[in-house]
Amino acid sequence: MRTRTVLAALLALCCLLPVTTAVAEQAPVISEDELKPFPLLGSTRQVTSGTAFNPAISVILDGKYYNDNVSGEGSEILEEAQGFEGDHDEAGHGHGELARGLNLGGTEIVFSASVDNYFDALVNLAVDGDGIEVEEAFGLTRGLPAGLQLKFGKFLSGIGYFNQLHPHAWAFADQNLPYRLIFGEENLNEVGLQLTWLPAWPVYTLIGVEALQGSNEKIAASDLDIPAGFEGRLKDRAGPRLFTGFIKIGPDLGPDHALQWGLFGGFSRLHQEEHGDEFLEGESWFTGTDLVYKFDAGGSHGKGNLVLQGEYIYRVKELEVAAHATEPLAIGEEEKFTQDGLYLQGTYGFAPRWTAGLRYEMAGLTNDIKTDAGTEKLDDSKRYSAAITFNPTEFSRLRLQFNRADIATDQGREKYNQVFLQYQLALGVHGAHRF
C-alpha cells in the first residue's frame, strides 16, 4: 500500500514538472525602476522598513609574497626618511608593513545598500591578523536639491585622486611615496562631514568641503600624552580640527578619452608631534593638485588602454615646543617644517588582460626645517617602480612588481630593492570604481 502511494506521488510530481518549468520561463523580468526603495506611505509620510532589501556584500582577498635586499627592513627604512621621521604614528591596520616571505594582507568586507528614500549607507571593514578595523562607515544623502550631497561618518577624504582609492583599486602593490609620508598608511581617512556640489554646468565640475575630526598622525594628531619627566603641557581642543576643500573638473573629450584635473587643500588647527626629548604642537596646512588621463582603445579586455596619473602635494607644519625633557628653556621655541612630494605613473594594456605599469615617486623636493637657529635643508627620497598585472577575469588579479628605493636618512642614503608577488580575489557584488 505504501509502495503504491509513493509511486502515485512521484507520477504526480513528474506531471507537474513541465508546468513548473513553463511558469519559470514566463516569469516577469524585474526592471531597474522596480528595484527602488519603497515609496512613502499615505499622509503620515512614514518610511517603510529598510530591511525589505538585502545589502550588497563583497569580499576582497589580498595576499603578497615580499622580499628585499635589506633583511626585510624596507618599511622601517622608509619610516626614517629625512623630514618625515618625527611624525606621530598611530596604531592601526596599515597596508605597508610586510614580512619577508608570504603575507596575508587586509581582507576587505563591504556592505552597501539604499536605506530609504533619503539615505544610502556603506560599511567597509578591514580584517587582518590584528583584528577588525572600520575603514569606512558612512551615510550618503539621496535627492538633495541643486546638485548637493552630504556624506557623514568615517570616510576617505575627497582630496586628490589617489586618496579615495582602496588598496584593491591601486595600480601598484604598495602605496605611493608622497601619500605614505605626508598622510600616512591609510591616506586621509577621518570621521566627519562632507558636502559636495555638482552644478549643472556644461563642463563636469565637482566642488566639495569637509569638516573632519582631526586624528591623522601626519597632519592633525592631537592625542599625545606627555610622560613623566617632561616640563610643559599640550592643548586639548575639541573637533572638528581639520578642514579641507577640493574641486574637480572633467571636460568632455569624446567617448574614447577622459580627463580630470583637481585642486585641493586643507588646514588643521591643532597638530602635535613627538621628537625625541621634545613635544611640538601648532597648526598645519597642505595644498596640492592632481591630473588623470584615460584612453579607451576599444581593444579586447583592455588591450591598448592607457592611464596616466600624477599628483603634487605641499605641506607646512608651524609648530612650537610645548614640552621638553631636558631643556625647559626650549619651551616656546618655534619650528617650521616645509615638505612636498609628487608621483607620476602610467599603465598600458599591452595584451588582452595584461597591463604594464611604471611609476616615479619623490618626497622632499622641498624639505626644510626652520628654527630660531636657522634653516636646515634635508635631502629628498625617491623610488622607481615597474609592475606587470594579469587579470584572468574582472574578479581576480595577479601582479609582479619591482621597486628601486633611494631613501635619505640621518645615517645617509639607503638604496635597496623590493619585490612583490600579489594576488587579489573579489567575491560577491562590487560596484564600479570612481573615475
Q: Is the model more confident about 195 or about 9?
A: 195
Reported as a single tens digit per residue, the pLDDT across 235-254 is 888 989 999 999 999 999 99
Residue 157: which region, alpha, beta or left (left: phi > 0; alpha: psi -120 to 50)?
beta
For position 233, what pLDDT does the model report?
84
Which three three-digit cell numbers place residue 93? 591596520
pLDDT above 50 for 276: yes
Mean pLDDT in residue range 173-191: 96
pLDDT in tens, 121-143: 999 999 988 889 999 999 999 98
The DSSP line for 153-202 is EEEE-SSSSGGG--GGG-SSSS--HHHHHHT-TT-SEEEEEEEEE----S
pLDDT-based confidence at residue 431 (cuts at 50, 70, 90)? low
Indicate the pLDDT class of residue 228, thresholds 50, 70 and 90: confident
- pLDDT score recorded for residue 179: 97
What pLDDT score was predicted for residue 92? 43
Contact 83, 15 (CB under 8 A): no
Q: Give pLDDT tens digits for 329-388.
A: 788 899 999 999 999 999 999 999 999 999 999 999 999 999 988 999 999 999 999 999
SS3 203: coil
CATH code of domain 142-419: 2.40.160.10
Mean pLDDT over 309-321 rounds to 96
pLDDT digits (tens, 9 = 90+) for 411-420: 999 999 999 9
pLDDT value at position 88? 47
Quote the pLDDT of residue 290: 98
The residue type at 340: D
Amino acid at 187: N
All cell numbers assigned to 90: 598611530
Strand 306-324 and strand 278-295: the pairing is antiparallel
Average pLDDT over residues 398-406: 98
pLDDT greater than 50 at residue 31: no
Q: What is the CA 72 to chain-centroid distance, rounded?
A: 25
Backbone angles phi, psi at 352, to 5 degrees: -55, 125
Each domain of the chain, given as residue ranges in start order, spans: 142-419
More confident: 9 or 408: 408
pLDDT at 329: 74
More confident residue, 133 or 5: 133
Instruction: Return all residues near 145 (Cβ < 8 A) that are at least 6 apart.
Output: none
| Cα angle 318, 95, 240; round to 5 | 40
